[in-house]
Amino acid sequence: MSLNARAKFMMVVAVVFAIYSLLWGLAPFATINFPSRFILDLADWPIDNLSAPLDKNTMWLSAIGAGLLGAVSIFLGGIVAPAIREGNRSIIRTTILAMVFWYIIDSVGSIAAGVGSNVFFNSIYLTLVLIPLVGISKNKAA
């Protein structure tokens, strides 16, 4: 895959993460938070708690998580995608390290909290980010 194709792929991932962030960020707004409740119930498979209202801590932590994911989506689209296009190995390596760090912390914490099914979704998100980052040949990257 060319650097340009990899950068475009990363932009698509960034947009998908931004949309996910906006939907998850609706959690504190009880009248319109169905998308958030669906996302949270899906992550805690099976879907069996969709009609239950969210408690204060879930709404608060969802707002924090959604804000952080939104920031990650902006970094992926505004910094990482252009860095891929330029073949900037330092930013590529740092992004891989950051995403693996997130994956380990989030997944271990999810298992410890009794929501091991979230590791499946984390694996999908990690894979989407790593696809355009891994395997860039040294002669293509500076």
Mean pLDDT, rounded, of the chain: 95
Inform me whether the pLDDT recorded for 8 exceeds 80.
Answer: yes
137 belongs to a structural domain: no
pLDDT the model gives residue 136: 86
pLDDT the model gives residue 20: 97
Mean pLDDT, residues 20-40 taken together: 96
Q: In terms of C-beta density within 10 A (0-12 exposed, 13-18 middle, 19 or more buried), how is residue 27 classed?
A: buried
70 belongs to a structural domain: yes
pLDDT the model gives residue 50: 87
* Contact indicator for 14, 70 with CB cutoff of 8 Å: no
**Domain total in the chain:** 1
Long-range interactions of 19-26: CB distance < 8 A, separation 24+: 20/69, 21/66, 21/67, 21/69, 21/70, 21/73, 22/66, 22/70, 24/62, 24/65, 24/66, 24/69, 25/62, 25/63, 25/66, 25/67, 25/70
d(CA 18, CA 16): 5
For the CA atoms of 101, 16, 14, 114, the dihedral, rounded to the nearest 10 degrees, stands at: -10
Q: Report the share of the chain in percent with pLDDT over 70.
A: 96
Q: Please tell me whether the overall predicted TM-score, pTM, comes out greater than 0.85 for this model.
A: yes
Inform me whether the pLDDT recorded for 74 exceeds 60.
Answer: yes
pLDDT the model gives residue 23: 97
141 belongs to a structural domain: no
pLDDT the model gives residue 137: 73
pLDDT the model gives residue 142: 52
140 belongs to a structural domain: no
Domain of 21 in residue numbering reads as: 3-130
10 belongs to a structural domain: yes
* Contact indicator for 93, 100 with CB cutoff of 8 Å: no
Q: What tens digit of pLDDT does each residue of 96-139 get? A: 999 999 999 999 999 999 999 999 999 999 999 999 999 987 65
